[in-house]
Every structure is written in structure tokens, then in C-alpha cells.
A and B are shown apart, each in its own frame.
Chain A
């Protein structure tokens, strides 16, 4: 297996109209002197955070919105980009509050995930139990409003089914919480 060393320059290009995405052309050199160019997506160091959140009656808090990739309505765990200078956990909690109008309860770190071989940035995942509504409610940004994001409360069994049947855009975190969710599901029966 060849060893890759990152070399400059790196080229950045944005695409999309009002809701832009970034593509980053990275360059690498292998030991044999060969140069390799790869197009990756999202900016380096732009991290995101998301939460699998359960209410006090063990319902999963999930958003439901139209998604431009699959071109259909998809379930999503609450989350989004971590802002500059923000801790990932604080970013996850801010997104939970903005998108769903809920706050913990109890929070624990689940892990990180690089969801694609050609994506930059890491996703941080958290598990929240006993989430309760905040008095001020939700506050959506323009993109979330445009996508018509709704909040749903579903059973753990339904949540796992959505993750397994391509009805969720972000199922990577589900594995990290799988045993806990099954345990809570058994306990609540």
C-alpha cells in the first residue's frame, strides 16, 4: 500500500446557487514520485454534530424534511454545522434546540464518524435522554424553513426501521446507540 503525502496547492470551488456547497481539490504525492489529485467535498475543519434524542417518555425526536439529494422527504436526527469557536457538544445542543425546541436531560458522547471517503470534516454524535421542551420553541434558519422541516416523535422501533430502510439521511450514528436503544426499548415494554 502506497503512502500518500499531502502537497499544495489546494483548490476550492463552490457550487449551487443560494444554498452553496464547497468542493476542495486536494493534491497528494506517493513515494514513487507520482502526483494524485482528488476532489473532496465540504471544507476541512468544518465539523458537524448531531444528536439521537429521547424524550422523557422514550420517543425519539426526529426532523422530517425534503432533501435535495434523494429528492424525497427524509427523517434526520437533529444536528448541523459546528460554528467557529464552538465546542461540538455545544453545537449539537444548539441545533437540537433550534430545530426541535428541546434540551436535555442527560447527554453523553457517542463517537465521531467520517461518513464518506471523499468528505472533509468529522461528525460528532451525542445521545440525549429525558429531553424536555424549552419555553421559546424552535427557531429555524432559512434553508431549514425552505425544506419544510417538521418535528416528529417516533418509537425506538420505528427509528431503527427508518435507519435500515434509507428513510434517514444520517444513519451512521444509529450503530453507536444501537445497544442502548434496544435496552431502553426492552425496559419500556
Chain B
């Protein structure tokens, strides 16, 4: 059996009968595949295909981490999140990360570098990208004022606090901290 699975590794074939539904405003997609053994199976998956999110591990000039504290409806907890959101059509991942950082926290990014991405879950269609933004400066615009009033509180924490939060279930984007970990350790030790 192992040999036949090995031989068929590339032969998972997506079939055309995709079913797209909405639950309230969220998209769920039932995907159908022809499996290596020729049988057909369908899987429920989450989010529109091709959807992208970005979140920023954002540091001020003196290496404080910029956090967007907000209520999260899955865990039902107030969490210390990385600023972030959707990548809009025609926008690069870096541009979206910089825009979301400014809207959510009022900080303008200095230098930006790409960290990496994750699917978060085996049944997730969307991709989460992460960027590292350094030398960020507080410079709020109107979009930030609307956002702050609604649901986000900006605060600054230390790099060790960020790492402890990521390990201690105080944020949902712990993968972003894993991707930035080597660089954060280096910055923190300087």
C-alpha cells in the first residue's frame, strides 16, 4: 500500500464540482478530489481561495513591539495581536502590511522585510503573510482614528513580552513570532 501511495503522490486531482457557500458573511468551500486510488472525496474548507492576510511584527526605533489589543471572537478573549488584515486587490503584501499597521495602530513603518507565510490549518484556503517592520514612528491618520474608536487599542511591549505572549496563547498569530524569532533575538541582544 505504501508503494502505491508513493507512486500516486502527484495524482490528487481537483474535480470541477466545487460548492461555495456563505455562513453569515464567511465563505466555506466544499472541494472534491480524485484521490490516488481513484476514489472521490470531498472536504469542507474555509475562506475564499486566493484570499491573503498580512500581519506585521512591528518595532519602534527603540525596539518596542507595537501591538493591536482587541477582542477575538473565536477564543472570546482580549488578545495582544500583531497589527494586520486583508491584502487588497492590486496591493503587495508589504504595502498591505504597512497600511494595516498605520490604520490599526497609527504607526508608520520605517524599514520593511518579508518574513514568510503559513496556511495556519489543513483546511484553510487563505494564506497569512508576515512582515517585519522596524523604526516605526507614531503618525496617526483619520483611518486610525476610526479604527481606534471602534475596536483596537494600541500598546507597546518588549520583545521578551511578545515572545512570552506567542508561547502563552495571548495572540492568534504566534506563527509570525516564530518566523521573526531569530531576528528578534538578535535585536533584543544588541
Contact = CB atoms under 8 A, between A and B. Distances in A.
B24 to A, nearest CB: 4
B167 to A, nearest CB: 5
Given A1-B151, A4-B71, A28-B73, A164 B42 contact: no
Contacts of A114: 72, 74-75, 77, 79, 169, 172
B41 A111 contact: no
A189 interface: no
Interface in A91-145: 110-120, 122
A153 to B, nearest CB: 15
Interface residues of B, number: 65
A69 B23 contact: no
Contacts of B179: 164
Contact of B174 (A113, A119, A122): A113
Interface in A46-98: 66-71, 73-74, 76
A166 B116 contact: yes
Contacts of B61: none
Contacts of B32: 17
A37 B24 contact: yes
A40 B73 contact: yes
A168 B122 CA distance: 9
A39 B23 CA distance: 7
Interface string A148-183: 101000000000000111101111101110100000
A174 B174 CA distance: 10
A120 B74 contact: yes
A19 B45 CA distance: 10
A136 B112 CA distance: 52
B119 interface: yes
A2 interface: yes
B49 to A, nearest CB: 9
6 contacts: A3-B71, A21-B44, A68-B123, A120-B75, A168-B118, A169-B121
B167 A175 contact: yes
B30 interface: yes
A21 B42 CA distance: 11
Contact of B44 (A16, A70, A111, A165): A16
Given A26-B73, A66-B12, A66-B35, 18 more contacts: A1-B70, A4-B71, A13-B23, A15-B30, A16-B45, A17-B44, A19-B42, A20-B44, A114-B75, A117-B81, A164-B179, A165-B116, A169-B122, A172-B174, A174-B178, A175-B178, A175-B181, A178-B178
Contact of A163 (B41, B46, B78, B178): B178
A15 B44 contact: yes
Contacts of B172: 114-117
A37 B22 CA distance: 14
Q: What 4 A-B pairs come out closest when comparing CB atoms?
A: A16-B44, A68-B43, A39-B26, A21-B44
